[in-house]
Every structure is written in C-alpha cells, then in structure tokens.
Amino acid sequence: MKIAVLGAGVIGVTTAYELAKDGHEVVVIDRLSEAASETSFANAGLVAPGHAYTWASPKAPRILLRSLMDESAALRFKPSLDPQLWWWTYLFLKNCTAEAAKINTKRKVHLCMYSQKQLDGLIKETGINHHRVEGGLMYLYRSQESFDRGARNSSILSDEGLNIRPVSAKEAAVLDPSLEAVKDKFKGALYCPSDESGDARVFTQALAKLSTEKYGVEFRYNSEILGFETSGGKVTTAKLSNGSVNADAFVMCLGVFSPQLSKQLGTRLPIYPIKGYSVTLPIEGSNNVPRFGGVDEDNLTAYARFGNRFRVTATAEFAGFDKSHRPSDYSHMLKSIKELFPDAANYDKPDYWAGLRPMTPEGTPIFGRGKFDNLYFNTGHGHIGWTMSCGSGRITADLIAGKTPAIDLTGMELNPRAA
C-alpha cells in the first residue's frame, strides 16, 4: 500500500518507520525543511512513564483560576475568544474528576510503558545515538507537603506496574551525586529507575535518515498541506503548496495543526496548543552536571543532559499559536534550576526556544479513523509525546494492518472524542 504520513515530527517519523518496516511504500510530507522542526525540536527529552499523570485533575480548575491572577505561575491561562479554546476547556473541566483523572492516567502510563519498550527495541535495531541517558529520572520535591502528596499520587503508577519509589534527599544524592551539595534544598524525590532521557530531535532526524536509507521512505519537505481531495468515503489526494500526493491511506501526525486540516474533512479534533519554554545551555567543562534528568516538581521545571548540552524547560501557557519569547519568560525556571544545579552549565550562553504541546483534554493521544475509511489519526500527544512516540507509531501501523494493537485503546480512539 502507498501511505502518506502528514507531518515529520517525532510522531510522524516513528509512524513512517513502522509502516515502512511493514513493507508499505511511505511518503512523509512536512512544510518545514527538516524533520523535528516544530514541537519535537527542543523538548525536555524525558522519556518519562513516571510523569504520566494527566493534567486534568480535581486540583486543575483551582490552578487555572489562580493563574489568571499570577503572571509568574508555571501555568498561565489566558482566556480568548477562540471557540476552540472554550470547547477544549469545557472538555478539560469535564475530565477534572478524580475518577476521570485516574482512568486517563492509567491509559497514559500503559501507553508510555509500551512506548518505552518499543523505543528500546528500535534503538537496539538501529543503533541510533541520541545522547540517551538510562538509569532513571529524579522527581524532586522541595516541601514535605508536596513530597508526601507526590509519593501518595505515585501509587496510581506503581499499581500499574511501574517501578517508582520515594527516596530521601540523602539517598537521592547518593544516586545522583550532583545533588550532594544542595540536598538541604529539597525534602525528597520520587526515583523511577526505568525512566530515561535523550534528545528527541536528534533521534527523529536520525530515524528519518535511516528510514530513507533502509526502506526508501520519501520525505517531501518544504511542502505545505493545503487541503484534500476525497471520493467515495476515502481521501485520495493531499493538495500541497507545490503539487499533490495521491495515496491509498493517510496518517495525520500534524501535532497542534491537526485540527486545522481535519476540520476541512469534517472532523473537529479536541487538541489545543499549550506553549512551553525551553533553554539549552553549553556544559563547557562545568563540573556538576546532573547524572539523571528530572523535574523540580514545586516549580514544574524539567531538565536533562544531552552530551555537552544541558536543557531546561517549563511553563504551560495558553497563548494560541504564538511562539514568541523574551528572556524574562525564562527567569523563573532558570532561577529554580540554578538553585539546584549552580554548576551544571554556562548559564551566560542561553539558547532560547518555545514550542506548542498538542494537548487533548484527557491527556491521551487520538488514534484510529473517523469519517474517512483510509484516514488515520496519530496526534494530540501533549506534554509527553516523545515518551509515547514509538508505541504510537507501532499502534498506528498495527491498526492499518488490521491487527489488534498490543495495548487496549479504549478511550484513545477518535470516536466519540471528535465532534
């Protein structure tokens, strides 16, 4: 079968690889000039089943309200007249019950664990080097109250089979000696030994190259998808800024832009862009770089090392499709991370970036088909799409092959989530 994958982010490229491995002829279309140039460009790189919690929880409405008053908060909700925002917020609030949060988190952690296994297999199969750091991630808590709450909440993940456990600040510093000098600054940590980190952009670009070399996958860059032609309940053609592509099947992996194109095909997707900020710093001989990546939980700041670079990310902001950023946007996250890792990098040489997380109200991505028999969706991976990518690619390839995916997709298929 000839299959067109729409979008060359981490989701599109992992999907293309799995489809090509299954023997399909695959073409990937993207409007930018390289793979992983949009949201997959500079994320925190955490492969984090240990952070699979859904954002919609009983606490979330209060946090959203508070953020209206506090500009410096890690979450910044800015109301606008955008009907997509109001529809999305309505669905998000519906998912803020304890019961829904539990169900959605369980679905997410299953997908994350499956995906990490797929990632591991893929790395072994391909030999891709993406600055992988194995051995765990460290989720640090500054106050006793937040530590106790974090430890309590983690049972939802451990009940599903994830090895995640509370450790004292002293034990955390033994596991990661970079914490020794600052162990009085936090009360404890949750340590998930199977979590890992790695550069999602390096991985995606290497996989794209390998897909072409090994399986002949064609990448059509600098080609904007403008619309579609359909016939007899099928999509036949993707109309591009520089031509068109006909295929037997199409997979939509357009991240935050998926709703714009799916709307043309009569499907309204509940995905909204949630902006995050990222700064990459050279390590340049700095002598106390964290051994493991992790999250400063009280400031919601994530960090990881990629070879000779140190990356810090934070903030969830509702700003539509605006990706602009100013140095002041990074003040809070850099302050919090410098407190913990003052000698991790050269903080005078920041490389700033901002990206848009394709969030669904439930926090789980959207798989399966809608109104058209041959149009598949693999989109809406939110704050943890790098973690969920390899499993999502395999699931989509299995759905196209008519096979039952390895994990239960209840609640993650397009219907009835679209409108």
Ligand X SMILES: Cc1cc2nc3c(=O)[nH]c(=O)nc-3n(C[C@H](O)[C@H](O)[C@H](O)COP(=O)(O)OP(=O)(O)OC[C@H]3O[C@@H](n4cnc5c(N)ncnc54)[C@H](O)[C@@H]3O)c2cc1C
List binders of ligand X among 13-72 (CB under 6 A). Answer: 29-32, 37-40, 43-46, 48
Closest approach of Cβ 28 to ligand X, in Å? 9
Q: How far is CA 239 from CA 3, 5, 113, 311, 364, in A?
A: 15, 13, 37, 38, 29
The CA distance from 235 to 375, in Å, is: 7
Q: For the segment 287-316, give every residue that binds ligand X (CB under 6 A).
A: 302, 313
Q: In the range 208-267, which residues lie near ligand X by CB under 6 A?
A: 224-225, 253-255, 257, 261
C-beta of residue 224 within 8 angstroms of C-beta of residue 241: yes
Tell which one of 377, 386, 391, 417 touches ligand X (CB under 6 A): 386
Handedness of CA 251, 256, 262, 264 (dihedral sign): negative
Name residues contacting ligand X, limited to 390-419 (CB under 6 A). none
Side-chain half-sphere exposure of 93, counting CA atoms within 13 A: 10
N-term to C-term CA, the chain:
29
Q: How far is the CB of 373 from ligand X (least distance, A)?
A: 22
Angle, CA of 302, 304 and 307, to the nearest 5°: 160
Query: 361-380 mask for ligand X (x: CB under 6 A)?
Result: ------------------x-
Which one among 205, 364, 387, 396 touches ligand X, defined by CB under 6 A? Answer: 387
Quick check: 205 binds ligand X (CB under 6 A)?
no
Question: Is-contact 75 292, C-beta < 8 A?
Answer: no
Name residue 150's amino acid: G
Q: Which is nearer to ligand X, 6 or 169 (CB)?
A: 6
Per the structure block, which two tokens stand in for 172?
């955390």
Beta carbon of residue 71, minimum distance to ligand X (angstroms, whole number): 18
Q: How far apart are CA 237 and CA 248, in angstroms?
A: 9
* List of residues contacting ligand X (CB under 6 A): 7-12, 29-32, 37-40, 43-46, 48, 224-225, 253-255, 257, 261, 276, 278, 302, 313, 355, 357-358, 379, 381-387
